A and B are shown apart, each in its own frame.
Chain A
Amino acid sequence: MRASLLLLAACTSAVTAREAPMPPAREIGLDTTPKERRRMVPPEVYLRAYLGWFGGLAPLDVQARAKPRGLFDAWDDYLAALGLPDYKSDLPRQGQTNTLMLATFGRLGEALCVRAAEHDLHARQPAVVFTFDPDVHTFEDFLPRFDVLHRTFLGYPVRLAPADRAQKFFALFTQVAARHVKKNPLGPEETAWAAVCAALVQHPEAELY
């Protein structure tokens, strides 16, 4: 009898002790601090992105398209330099970026941006990357066009980027255009857009996640 009373008392107290309700979601402090260092995008992802940016071509088609005028060689030459495992040479995947890897990505990026400029801006074929008219006279002309490329390569609008980024790229654009008034298969503004593209495709935010 005594034990039963004790059990009843214990159960009763458990039922009557009400827990405080959870606070509304908007009041909960969410920890959004990054817990991991940024890492290099795996080379396969990077290459897939490249193939997508430049029209969804197959790797061998990209190679064939990029090769003329010494812009590129063959994928086989760069497997290890890009960080990919090279099973033919028994080289493992590389865990860290190095200067040579950046140089290789630079070569690839330059090749594909130039080809895209030739395709989209020069030959005026259905645009893949440069989906805009290349003529730029002022920073106001430049900004919306740059925003298109910024969204394409870095994945977000330029207005969310550090405030001076667009100005820096505009400086690059104008100076490259000024240096290429003549002697180039592309026009000055087309070359300048290719340079902006090449810089964006090698941008730290494009290479890291």
Chain B
Amino acid sequence: MRRRTFLKLVSAYGASALAPRPLWAAVKDVEQYFIFVHAAGGWDVTLWADPRNERKGLVEPASTDNTDTAALTRWKTAALDGDAETFEILAPSDVPMRFGPGIGDLYDLRDRLTVVNGLAMNTVSHPDGTCFSATGRHLAGGRAPASSVDVAIANELGTGQLLPDVSIRFPSAYVGESLDRRAIPLRVANAGTIAKALARSGAYFNDDDRAQITALLTDEAHALARHSTFPETFERIAAQETALPDLLDERLKSAMTQKALQAAYPGVPLQAAFAVDAIKRNLVRCVGIAIGGLDTHNQNYKNHARTLQELFGTIATMVKLLDAARLSDRTHILVVSDFCRTPQINLAGGRDHYPNNSALVISPRFRRGRTFGATDAEQLLPAGDKPLSPPDLLATFLHAFGIEPRRYLRDGEVVPEMLA
């Protein structure tokens, strides 16, 4: 080798060795699990993350006039005016956070929560807000123009799992030709469907017959791919056929039935039980679930705080179950909603849609026991010249797991202050 060539090679190697490694290169190999929760319908943030208990500007706080307080475990009465009473804001001394009574049992885990307030939504449409919160993009022509956060995570960290991304009514979107086909979310209406789809009668065929049929179909798909101008589609079918025998494993099927999950996790909502169980069995990388009932435009607003309490109670239960399984340090939960509800009460006694939002993260990769972002006192709108928005949160979330946000997000900046 000539001396000049040798020196060039040495300098190139030296430069690459000294160059700072991006964070995502360092942590990519670590096994992590993810739960994404969609609080469907649009939540009232004044009842949990951004509590208000005074009349100020547009803000009409929750009170005994508009809220059924009987079942609320964290509702402590405070004077409002007249005969009406409102709630006392929960302001713990151990963390610089404030909560409304809707937080319920999750209040006990406050030192593990990261709350983001004042997310600028620029929309008051359910489908658009849902899409914006999950993908960081508004709908284009009625369709999601980018992949959702669960698909991005599954594509980067989950393709080796048996079920990279299970989406039980979560607004998952798989968009783009460059993604791994194994990251396509398994979208189902409820957790029981998965077990039903995998169930097979033992009366006619046995496992050997099914394995032989699957092997034959995989072989056929590969053969067709070899002769096809566009082999990817056949290869995808072949990959999916290859995964089927593992899915049809008897132990897996029997554990995933509605009956088995309810027996193993009594009192836990089915989709939450599925999420925890699938993570404990190391079957999934991402589970997306949706918990609804928050779209309260009229008298049903009276139950809004209780619905929030149930939502956060479910999340608290999941965290405790993961704690018991020693998985909570490797399981990361992101909770989003369509948007928040108006600060004023409408003529029907409810709250309508409002272009502000909050989000919740429970993850050791985030700074815990902190609230980021803010809203103004009188209008409940995102404060500051450049408020946070869902793409910022999603970019930060992806970055926290070593994923280059620009691969999936057009907008959004990483907020390093949020990260641990």
Interface residues of A in 28-81 (CB under 8 A from B): 33-34, 36-39, 69-71, 73, 77-81
Nearest residue in B to A114 (C-beta to C-beta)?
Answer: B204
Beyond A96-B184, A179-B208, is A203–B217 a contact (Cβ under 8 Å)? yes
Asked if B247 is an interface residue, CB under 8 A from chain A, the answer is yes
| Complex contacts, B213 vs chain A, CB 8 Å | 172, 195, 198-199, 202
Interface residues of A in 81-116 (CB under 8 A from B): 81, 86, 88-91, 94-100, 102-104, 106-107, 110-111, 114
Nearest residue in A to B166 (C-beta to C-beta)?
Answer: A100
> Nearest Cβ in chain B — how far from A73, in angstroms?
5
Asked if B174 and A78 sit within 8 Å, CB to CB, the answer is no
Asked if B198 and A103 sit within 8 Å, CB to CB, the answer is yes
| Complex contacts, A162 vs chain B, CB 8 Å | 223-224, 227
B174, B193, B202 — most chain A CB neighbours (10 Å):
B193
Asked if B122 is an interface residue, CB under 8 A from chain A, the answer is no
Beyond A37-B232, A89-B189, A202-B217, is A103–B247 a contact (Cβ under 8 Å)? yes
Asked if B205 and A103 sit within 8 Å, CB to CB, the answer is no
A33, A36, A39, A202 — most chain B CB neighbours (10 Å):
A202
Set B181, B196, B209: member contacting A73, Cβ < 8 A: B196
Asked if B244 and A106 sit within 8 Å, CB to CB, the answer is yes
Set A89, A184, A205: member contacting B224, Cβ < 8 A: A205
Asked if B216 is an interface residue, CB under 8 A from chain A, the answer is yes
Beyond A103-B247, A110-B200, A185-B204, is A169–B216 a contact (Cβ under 8 Å)? yes
Asked if B90 is an interface residue, CB under 8 A from chain A, the answer is no
Number of interface residues of B (CB under 8 A): 52
Asked if A194 is an interface residue, CB under 8 A from chain B, the answer is yes
Asked if B229 and A34 sit within 8 Å, CB to CB, the answer is yes
CA distance in complex: A53, B237 (Å):
23
| Complex contacts, A106 vs chain B, CB 8 Å | 244
DSSP majority for the B interface? helix
Asked if B236 is an interface residue, CB under 8 A from chain A, the answer is yes
Interface residues of B in 196-254 (CB under 8 A from A): 196-206, 208-209, 212-213, 216-217, 219-221, 223-224, 227-230, 232-234, 236-238, 240-241, 243-244, 247-248
Asked if A208 is an interface residue, CB under 8 A from chain B, the answer is yes
Q: Contact mask A141-178 → B, CB, 8 Å, 1/0?
A: 00000000000000000000010010011001001100
Asked if B316 is an interface residue, CB under 8 A from chain A, the answer is no
Q: Contact mask B355-395 → A, CB, 8 Å, 1/0?
A: 00000000000000000000000000000000000000000
CA distance in complex: A28, B376 (Å):
72
| Complex contacts, A104 vs chain B, CB 8 Å | 197
Asked if B174 and A70 sit within 8 Å, CB to CB, the answer is no
Asked if B185 is an interface residue, CB under 8 A from chain A, the answer is yes
Write 29 A-B pairs (CB below 8 A) sorted by A numbering.
A37-B232, A38-B228, A69-B203, A80-B188, A80-B193, A81-B193, A86-B189, A89-B189, A96-B181, A99-B163, A100-B186, A103-B197, A103-B244, A106-B244, A107-B199, A114-B205, A162-B224, A172-B216, A179-B206, A179-B208, A179-B209, A184-B203, A194-B204, A195-B205, A198-B205, A204-B217, A204-B221, A208-B233, A208-B237
* Minimum-distance CB pairs A-B, first 10: A37-B230, A89-B189, A100-B186, A70-B201, A104-B197, A38-B233, A69-B203, A99-B240, A98-B184, A96-B184
A114-B201, A186-B204 given; 20 more Cβ-contact pairs under 8 Å:
A69-B204, A77-B193, A80-B189, A80-B193, A89-B190, A91-B169, A91-B187, A99-B244, A102-B241, A103-B197, A103-B198, A107-B197, A114-B205, A176-B212, A191-B205, A194-B205, A202-B213, A202-B217, A204-B220, A204-B238
